């Protein structure tokens, strides 16, 4: 079976699929006891600090491999993690509810999304993607859910979308390519993938439904195609392309 999307980062890869279904930020309303407010604020601040540390580590790891645009993106995410409007709003929600940190994060995200959706400037509106990436990392640390990258050497990740902060981690653990259901060839993730020479295909319809864990895949980042469980001739053609 052949699927087609948009080649966002050139290169060929052969490997088994690792399918990751999306983690939506859908946190049910949860109130906490007033006596637990300070502990919940501390839990939030620890998660924010962990996200900052992750961003700093990523910048250090990629030092010398970054172009100006990717460097600016990392700086933007670092600024968002220090944004007083984002952080003060979260603190206020925890205190006033009093709400859990996870629910406060969801409410604040939805509030800011309405502001961005009302903007006329397409570039500014698209910055909501950056905010979503940052909020997603804070949420992951709140849940103490580390990136699931161990044991992925030689595999191709299939996911809904990919945050730039994950790309370097995935490559460091031996992931040979990434295919996403959404995304854009103009995104920061695509720019970083090209800098890292990591094959990336984006906007592949139904890829999460068509590909199963363990399927053998051939991906061609140049023409945006993904071959599922290739036949012998497909494998021969792939090896010819590598010469």
User: What CATH code is carried by the domain that includes residue 175?
Assistant: 3.50.30.10
Answer whether 178's CB lies under 8 Å from 156's CB.
Answer: yes
Percent of the chain with pLDDT over 70: 89
Q: What is the rounded CA–CA span in Å between residue 73 and residue 66?
A: 10
User: What's the confidence (pLDDT) of residue 63?
Assistant: 67
Q: What is the mean pLDDT of residues 214-219?
A: 96
Beta bridge partner(s), residue 9? 200
Are residue 154 and residue 137 in the same domain, yes or no?
Answer: no
Can you list the alpha helix ranges (DSSP code H) found in 97-231?
Answer: 101-117, 122-126, 128-142, 164-172, 188-196, 207-210
User: Does the pLDDT of residue 145 top 90, yes or no?
Assistant: no
pLDDT-based confidence at residue 235 (cuts at 50, 70, 90): very high
Identify the DSSP state of 36: G
Q: Are residues 81 and 96 in the same domain?
A: yes
Do 11 and 57 lie in one domain? The reply is no
Domain CATH number, residue 43: 1.10.274.10
- Find all residues with CB under 8 Å of 49, minimum gap 6, and list them: none
The predicted model gives 133-154 an average pLDDT of 80
Token pair for residue 198?
């990591």
Q: Is position 6 within any domain?
A: yes
Report field, pTM of the whole predicted structure over 0.75: no
Per-residue confidence band for 90, with pLDDT thresholds at 50, 70 and 90:
very high
Residue 1 near residue 228, CB atoms below 8 Å:
yes
The arithmetic mean of pLDDT across residues 9-38, rounded, is 87
Output the pLDDT for position 113: 83
- 219, β-bridge pairs: 13, 226
Range of the domain at 48: 34-142
Report how far residue 32's alpha carbon sits from residue 72's, in angstroms, rounded to the nearest whole number: 38
Residues 157-203 have pLDDT tens digits of: 999 888 777 787 788 788 999 999 988 888 778 888 998 899 999 99
What the block records as the tokens of 239 is 């090896």
CB atoms inside a 10 Å sphere around CB 51: 25
| 61 and 108 share one domain | yes
Residues 188 and 218 in one domain: yes
Q: Of the candidates 142, 161, 195, which is a domain's last residue?
A: 142
């Amino acid at each position: 079976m052949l699927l087609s999307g948009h080649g966002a980062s050139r290169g060929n890869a052969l490997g088994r699929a690792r399918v990751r279904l999306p983690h939506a930020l859908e946190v049910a309303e949860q109130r906490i006891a007033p006596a637990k407010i300070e502990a919940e604020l501390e839990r939030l601040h620890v998660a924010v600090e962990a996200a900052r540390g992750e961003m700093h580590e990523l910048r250090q790891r990629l030092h010398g491999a970054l172009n100006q645009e990717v460097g600016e993106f990392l700086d933007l995410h670092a600024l968002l993690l220090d944004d007083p409007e984002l952080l003060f709003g979260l603190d206020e929600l925890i205190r006033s509810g009093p709400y859990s940190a996870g629910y406060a994060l969801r409410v604040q995200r939805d509030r800011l999304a309405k502001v961005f959706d009302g903007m006329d400037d397409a570039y500014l509106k698209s910055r909501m993607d950056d905010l979503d990436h940052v909020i997603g990392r804070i949420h992951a640390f709140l849940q103490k859910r580390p990136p699931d990258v161990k044991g992925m050497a030689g595999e191709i990740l299939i996911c809904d979308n990919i945050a730039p902060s994950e790309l370097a981690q995935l490559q460091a653990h031996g992931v040979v390519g990434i295919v996403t259901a959404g995304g854009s060839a103009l995104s920061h993730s695509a720019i970083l993938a090209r800098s890292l020479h990591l094959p990336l295909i984006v906007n592949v319809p139904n890829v999460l439904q068509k590909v199963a864990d363990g399927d053998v895949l051939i991906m061609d980042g140049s023409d945006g195609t993904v071959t599922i469980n290739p036949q012998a001739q497909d494998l021969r053609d792939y090896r010819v392309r590598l010469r």
